[in-house]
């Protein structure tokens, strides 16, 4: 159980590093943490309590789609937060996705989070 908790905390720590106005993918976080599956990142973010301060709205699928929007209340909240940060969204997909992409492996130096 401790290992599971560590991986969830690691996902949260990486997600906290995503700058405003930028997004990353479930897969980029999974690759950075060597998790082997983007679904593990989605599952970890789904566990967030409602009163969290982790910018989960900045994590999208590999196409730039807001695939996690249904875990926000209301689902339009994910898009609203991204638009507040200056991103444009149409049909639940980020416009010019690649221009806003933040890749943890290129931006962070791996250090096991202090948890």
Q: What is the pLDDT of residues 54-108, one digit of tens each?
A: 999 999 999 999 999 999 989 999 999 999 999 999 999 999 999 999 999 999 9
In the chain, what are the domain boundaries? 2-107
Model-level pTM?
0.90
Topology, domain 2-107: Arc Repressor Mutant, subunit A (1.10.10)
Helices (H), 1-115: 2-16, 26-32, 38-46, 76-84, 104-107
Q: Is the pLDDT of residue 1 over 50?
A: no
- What element of type H or E holds 3? helix 2-16
Nearest partner of 87 among 34, 24, 35, judged by Cα: 24
The tens digit of pLDDT for each residue in 20-33 reads: 999 999 999 999 99
């Amino acid at each position: 159980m401790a290992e599971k908790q560590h991986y969830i905390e690691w996902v949260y720590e990486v997600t906290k590093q995503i700058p405003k106005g930028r997004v990353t993918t479930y897969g980029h976080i999974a690759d950075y943490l060597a998790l082997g599956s983007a679904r593990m990142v989605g599952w970890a973010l789904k566990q967030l309590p409602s009163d969290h301060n982790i910018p989960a709205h900045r994590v999208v699928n590999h196409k730039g789609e807001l695939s996690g929007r249904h875990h926000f209340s209301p689902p339009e909240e994910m898009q609203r937060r991204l638009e507040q940060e200056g991103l444009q969204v149409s049909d639940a997909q980020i416009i010019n996705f690649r221009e806003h992409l933040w890749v943890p492996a290129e931006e962070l130096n791996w250090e096991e989070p202090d948890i």
